[in-house]
Every structure is written in structure tokens, then in C-alpha cells.
Amino acid sequence: MKFEKLSEYKLRVTVSNDELLDCPNGDLDNFMSDPSKARRSFLEILDKAEDEVGFHIDNSRVRIDAKSMFNGDFIFTITKLIPKKKNIKKVKPLKVPLKKDDTLVYNFVDIEHFFNFCNFLKKQKINRLREFCKTINLYKYNDKYVLICSNINPTYRYLGKLYSGITEFGNFLTSQESVATMIKERGELVIGHNAIYISQRNFK
């Protein structure tokens, strides 16, 4: 769990997919569906935030915005609401740079799931994959097929659709370059350079 104090009145909390799975509720929908459990959980989060980054709510009302990321993480933005009648000095929020993933790694239980993903992209006309990233390699590692996408272009026009579609066929593994390098060293290269385009052209 990561705390970022954006200002005196705003806090960002990042919860990883693994941390959420460790919770009794299991996922974001279940986590938010029970108001009493969600309230207790957020009170615990606010207690931790007070200890770690000095974010105090001081019995103020708060607004909580939740966002699900493509890699399974969840971001909660907690805003302390101040009554309008109080003369509050404006505080300039801190600028926190967003982390941009340059490498993404997904795994598939078998080669058929990967081929089905490639056909899905073709049917949905999600093309121009050379604009998505520099290289797309498929490896076999630990009896699974692992897709490594390197040098990703964050302005690729179909980025959201591609991320949404791939979760229907494979599982997000990591965005760490060190893990991708380890898989390249220990795994077996199955299809190199542009694995998706080559699969679309040769396997239907």
C-alpha cells in the first residue's frame, strides 16, 4: 500500500492487486458493496496515512474516488471537505509525476489463448501494432506462453481497447523490466519481433 499526500486536503492511496486479494472481500466490487466493511477499511487506511505521511482528517467529512488500473492496482483519492463558511488558505497541490510503464508482460495458459487474442484484435480492427510498441515477443516459460511488449507508446490510439481486450485472454504478470529480462534469458523464444502480427498472418 502506497500513500501520497498531494496536499493538506488530498491523499492518494495505491493498493496493489495482491493486497486487495488478501482482503476478505476479494475485489473492488465486493470491497465497496458492503458500506459498513468499506467504512471500517477506510478508517484503517486513514489511520495508517496519519502515521506514515501526516494526513489528518480532523473529524472532517471526506470524499473518496476509486479508480481501477489496467495492471490490477486500485487508486483511491481521498479529499477532505471543508465547510465553505471557513476561510481556508489555499494550498498549492504537489505535482506528482505519473509512472509510465515502458514494458508490459502478460501470460497465457496455452498457445490457443494467445491466438484467440490475436484474432480478437484483428476482428476489432485494433491495428498498427508497430505504433503500439517497438517489439512484441512471445516466449514459453514455466509451461506458459508469455508476451513481452517493450518500448510502449503511451499515445497509441487503441491503447485502452488493447489493454481491455488482453485481460479476456491472458493475465497481467508485471511491468518490471528486470522480470522481463529474466524471462528472455530463461525462457524459449516462440515468436519474435512482432508476435501478434505474425500470428495474425500465419495462424487463423
The domain spanning residue 134 has which CATH number? 3.30.70.1950
Q: Is residue 91 part of a domain?
A: no
Q: Are residues 116 and 69 in the same domain?
A: no
Residue 89 lies in a domain: no
126 and 183 part of one domain:
yes
Predicted confidence (pLDDT) per residue in 28-63, tens digit: 555 555 566 667 777 787 888 888 888 877 777 878
Distance, CA of 56 to CA of 27 (rounded, Å): 27
Q: Quick check: is 22 in a domain?
A: yes
Q: Is the pLDDT of residue 187 over 90?
A: yes
Split at pLDDT 50, 70, 90, the class of 97 is very low
pLDDT tens digits for 138-183? 999 999 999 999 888 888 888 888 888 888 899 988 888 889 999 9
Q: How many structural domains compose the chain?
A: 2
**188 and 141 share one domain:** yes
- Spatial neighbors of 108 by CB under 8 A, at least 6 apart, are 114, 117, 144, 145, 146, 147, 169, 170, 171
Q: Are residues 107 and 198 in the same domain?
A: yes
- Is residue 61 packed enough to be buried (19+ CB in 10 Å), middle (13-18) or exposed (0-12)? exposed
| pLDDT of the residue at 40 | 74
107 close to 171: Cβ distance less than 8 angstroms: yes
Q: Which of 13-17, 92-96, 140-144 has the lowest mean pLDDT?
A: 92-96
CA of residue 141 relative to chain centroid, distance = 23
Has residue 195 got a pLDDT over 80?
A: yes
Give the domain range for residue 194.
103-202
Q: Can you say whether residue 193 is alpha, beta or left, with left for phi > 0 and alpha for psi between -120 and 50 degrees?
A: left
pLDDT of residue 98: 42
CA distances from 191 to 41, 113, 198 (A): 45, 15, 8
Distance CA 119, CA 200 (A): 6
Residues 69 and 117 placed together within one structural domain of the fold: no
Longest CA–CA separation in the chain, Å: 68
pLDDT of residue 84: 59
- Please, which pLDDT band fits residue 19 given cuts at 50, 70 and 90? low
72 in any annotated domain: yes
| Mean local confidence (pLDDT), 85-92 | 56
What average pLDDT does range 124-140 have in this prediction? 88
Q: 107 and 195 share a domain?
A: yes
DSSP one-letter string for 134-158: EEEEEEEETTEEEEEEEEE-TT-TT
How far is residue 180's CA from residue 12's CA, in Å, rounded to a whole number?
28
With respect to residue 93, please indicate whether it lies within any of the assigned structural domains: no
Would you tell me how many other CB atoms lie within 10 Å of the CB of residue 148?
26
Q: Are residues 6 and 69 in the same domain?
A: yes
Q: Is the dihedral of CA 122, 140, 103, 22 positive or negative?
A: positive
Structural domain includes residue 63: yes
- Asked, for residue 86, whether it belongs to a domain, the answer is no
CA distances from residue 8 to 39, 62, 64 in whole angstroms, order as listed: 22, 13, 15
> Is pLDDT above 60 for 99?
no
- Confidence check: pLDDT of 129 > 70: yes
pLDDT on residue 35: 62
Residue that wins the pLDDT comparison between 3 and 91:
3
| Averaged confidence pLDDT in the chain | 79
Rounded to an integer, the average pLDDT of 53-74 is 76
Residues 109 and 75 in one domain: no
**32 & 119 share domain:** no
Is 88 among the domain residues?
no
According to DSSP, the residues that pair with 174 across neighbouring strands are 105
